[in-house]
Amino acid sequence: MGMFSRFTDIINANINAMLDKAEEPEKMIKLIIEEMAETLVEVRSAAAKQIAEKKTVMRHIRAMESRVAHWQEKAELALNKSREDLAKSALVEKQSCTQKLAEFNQELSQFDEYLNALQLDSQRLQDKLTEAKRKQEAFAIRQQSAEVCLKVREKVAIDNMDQAISKFELYQQKIDRVEAAVEAYDMTSSKSLDSQFRALENDETIEQALAQLKQKVAKGS
């Protein structure tokens, strides 16, 4: 048994309510469309069969109308020839044909009623199918929009991460420059201090040499 057990179930189905209760609306709407399409094919096939049978009945009606007219002519001919017995026999045949003609006309009327109802139901089913397809298209659009939004958000997240990394690298570069400046200052300061001590040491050496020279000069005089 399909999703719809009877044709009237499809006609009276509330698609929105069915989708609201479904755990997976996309799959549900697909199944609904498939079921409706199959039912619509069956309805059209049944209609085609009924139309063919109606045409057969219409041929019987035309043939029987011809038979009624035929026996009417025979009855009139018999009376004109003073053959009342033959006229009665012709009228009996005419009556039989007339009765069959009435039955065929009644059958034709039933075919018309059935086909009219079938056409109406077929149109209602087609409307339901169109509604279901619109729902399916709406789901597809929503899914596509959701995927686009997800991609955009993922890209934004990546861009934000790239910006954070860039800022971190910038801060790191600033720190490196500050540390380099400190090291340069320390290195320069150390060299300057060493130079001062060497200058002092040189001055002391010169002073000692000068004192020794003075002593030597004093002894010589």
Contacts with 53 (C-beta within 8 Å, 6 or more apart), sequence order: 111
Are 35 and 10 in contact by the 8 Å Cβ rule? The answer is yes
In 3D space, the residue among 163, 126, 104, 132 whose CA is nearest the CA of residue 30 turns out to be: 132
Name the pLDDT band for 176 (thresholds 50, 70, 90). Answer: low
Give the count of beta carbons closer than 10 Å to the beta carbon of residue 138: 11
Give the lowest-confidence range in 53-67, 83-97, 178-192. Answer: 178-192
C-alpha distances out from residue 145 to 27, 131, 151, 154, 155, Å: 18, 21, 10, 14, 15
pLDDT of amino acid 1:
38
Burial of 81 (0-12, 13-18, 19+ CB in 10 A): exposed
Per residue, what are the HEC states of 30-91? Answer: HHHHHHHHHHHHHHHHHHHHHHHHHHHHHHHHHHHHHHHHHHHHHHHHHHHCCCHHHHHHHH
Tokens of 189: 């300061």
Are 16 and 138 in contact by the 8 Å Cβ rule? The answer is no
pLDDT of amino acid 67:
95
**What average pLDDT does this structure show over 67-86?**
93
**What average pLDDT does this structure show over 8-36?**
66
Query: Is residue 156 classed as helix, strand or coil in its secondary structure?
Result: helix
Query: Is residue 33 classed as helix, strand or coil in its secondary structure?
Result: helix
Encode pLDDT of 111-152 as tens digits: 999 898 888 888 888 888 888 788 777 777 776 777 677 776
Name the pLDDT band for 2 (thresholds 50, 70, 90). Answer: very low
Q: Which fold has domain 7-160?
A: Helix Hairpins (1.10.287)
pLDDT of amino acid 25:
65
Query: Is residue 221 classed as helix, strand or coil in its secondary structure?
Result: coil
Residue type, 141: I
**What average pLDDT does this structure show over 84-89?**
92
- Give the whole-angstrom CA distance, residue 112 versus residue 47: 11
Residues in the chain, overall count? 221
Question: How many percent of the chain have pLDDT more than 90?
Answer: 27
C-alpha distances out from residue 27 to 33, 62, 72, Å: 10, 53, 67
pLDDT of amino acid 55:
94
